[in-house]
Structure 1
């Protein structure tokens, strides 16, 4: 006896994308988006390193630009992305390498909370 009709009936009753309301799906998506954000940042980081090699004047001009409040907020966002990606990666390592299935939702929510606290602490200290 096949359970496929029963499964599809349950899925359609909850909606075609009901899985997106699951905190673990959101955690996985945040992990992917944070990885993309960090990958977008990396070429800019290399650009600044290249400026430092071109001379003191080029680097000083860039560093003056980084004193803008919008840049400081972006740095806080970058710290958030870094911490949430790190903690999300640790959660994935635990799930894949240990027999750890319980409390995943709490761990994912805690990772987001810790990342937010670290980013806010960074911004408070920076500003």
Structure 2
């Protein structure tokens, strides 16, 4: 699977890149701003993306996410404050809250990879908050 990483903290981006590659996937690129992300969406055609909400040019990760969703590219937010994610999750599959463990990220990547390949038999790992689950908690009873 080709994975794009949208993260403005270089150390986190590099750690995530290493995890993605060790899991057998290809990193199509690292983007630190919405401008870089938009360029990569068009040029690298990723199968999936990890997207931080706050990038070098501000809280523009949500806009990047909406563009990914509009392009049919599934993605997961990675953020220190998942409460900033809109109620509709901007089309994301879910979110992983920082700080995360590499094991949690690896488990989330394996789950998402299976979903993208059409295998929905697995259970989501604790590290991944699915959009449907988060929205169920926000809806009035």
TM-score computed with the length of structure 2 as normaliser: 0.23
Instruction: Looking at secondary structure, tell me which structure has more strand per residue.
Output: 2
Larger Rg computed on CA atoms: 1
Instruction: Looking at secondary structure, tell me which structure has more helix per residue.
Output: 1
